C-alpha cells in the first residue's frame, strides 16, 4: 500500500468502528517539539579557524536540508481489542539527524517504534484500565494526528542519544567538546603568556637604574 497524505485530525472512535487503517508520512520539520532535539549545525569549535567556520556553515546547511526532506512513516490500525477497548496499533519509522549528547555533533539515529494505545473519554476511565495499554484522552471526539505521533516519538526516544563507539567510523566522528576546543584553549593560553611577558618587560624598563645616580654625581664633579 502506498503512503498517502495523512489528515490533520480524525474521529478515532469512528475509525475504530470502521476498522480503518491509515498509512502515510509527515515531514520531520512539522514536529515543533522534536526540533529541540535535532542537530542544527552548531559546532563548539567554530571560533578556532576560518576553515572550521566554513565546515560548520556547510554542516548547518546540510542539516537544515535534511530536516526539510526527512519524513516520518506512519502506519495506524484502528479497532477493538478482545476486551472491547477502542485501540490503535501501529508503527512509526524515521531517521533523525540528532545531536550526540557526548560530542554535540550530528548523529544519524534510525527510529522505529511500535505503539498500542487505548482511547478514553476521561481520566477516570484511564485509571480503571488494567490491560497495560498507554492511553490517550480524546476530547470532543477529535484526534490531532501530528500531536499524537509526535508524543509517541518523544516517549520512545532513547534516554541517551550518542554515536556508537563500537563502530569505528562513528567513534572517529565522536570528539568531545573539550577535544574540539583544545586548539582554541592553547591559543588563548599562548596569548595570555605573551601579554604577561610584555607586562614584565615594560615594568623592567620603567625601573630606574641604580647606577644612574652615580653617573649624575660624576658629571657634577
Q: Which domain holds residue 79?
A: 4-174
Supply the pTM of this predicted model. 0.66
Residues 163 and 201 in one domain: no
Residues 189 and 164 in one domain: no
Residues 163 and 112 in one domain: yes
Question: Cα angle vertex 177, ends 176, 181, to 5°?
Answer: 125
The predicted structure's pLDDT at residue 32: 93
Q: Which three cell numbers stand for residue 94?
A: 524515521
Residues 18 and 36 in one domain: yes
Q: Do 93 and 73 form a contact (C-beta atoms < 8 A)? A: yes
Residues 80 and 189 in one domain: no
**Cell 570528539, residue located:** 175
Residues 98 and 188 in one domain: no
Residues 43 and 148 in one domain: yes
Residues 88 and 109 in one domain: yes
Q: Do 49 and 112 form a contact (C-beta atoms < 8 A)? A: no
State the total domains in the chain.
2
> What are the mean pLDDT values of the chain's consecutive 10-residue runs (221 residues total)?
79 97 94 90 43 42 55 96 93 93 88 94 85 88 96 92 85 67 54 64 58 53 53
Residues 189 and 159 in one domain: no
Residues 202 and 152 in one domain: no
Residues 76 and 110 in one domain: yes
CA 148 to CA 33: how far, in whole Å?
A: 12
Residues 35 and 124 in one domain: yes
The predicted structure's pLDDT at residue 206: 57
The predicted structure's pLDDT at residue 59: 44
Amino acid at each position: 500500500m502506498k503512503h498517502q497524505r495523512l489528515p490533520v485530525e480524525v474521529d478515532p472512535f469512528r475509525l475504530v468502528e470502521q476498522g480503518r487503517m491509515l498509512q502515510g508520512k509527515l515531514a520531520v520539520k512539522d514536529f515543533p517539539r522534536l526540533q529541540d532535539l535535532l542537530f542544527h549545525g552548531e559546532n563548539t569549535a567554530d571560533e578556532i579557524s576560518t576553515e572550521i567556520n566554513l565546515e560548520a556553515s556547510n554542516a548547518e546547511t546540510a542539516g537544515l536540508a535534511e530536516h526539510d526532506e526527512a519524513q516520518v512513516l506512519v502506519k495506524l490500525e484502528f479497532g477493538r481489542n478482545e476486551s472491547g477497548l477502542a485501540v490503535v496499533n501501529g508503527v512509526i519509522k524515521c531517521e533523525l539527524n540528532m545531536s550526540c549528547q557526548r560530542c554535540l555533533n550530528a548523529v544519524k539515529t534510525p527510529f522505529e517504534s511500535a505503539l498500542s494505545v487505548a482511547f478514553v473519554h476521561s481520566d477516570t476511565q484511564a485509571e480503571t484500565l488494567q490491560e497495560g495499554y498507554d492511553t490517550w484522552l480524546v476530547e470532543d471526539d477529535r484526534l490531532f494526528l501530528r500531536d499524537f505521533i509526535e508524543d509517541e516519538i518523544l516517549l520512545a526516544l532513547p534516554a541517551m542519544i550518542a554515536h556508537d563507539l563500537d563502530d569505528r567510523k562513528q567513534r572517529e566522528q565522536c570528539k568531545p567538546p573539550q577535544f574540539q576546543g583544545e586548539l582554541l584553549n592553547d591559543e588563548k593560553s599562548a596569548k595570555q603568556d605573551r601579554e604577561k611577558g610584555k607586562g614584565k618587560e615594560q615594568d623592567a624598563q620603567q625601573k630606574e637604574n641604580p647606577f644612574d645616580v652615580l653617573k649624575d654625581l660624576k658629571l657634577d664633579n
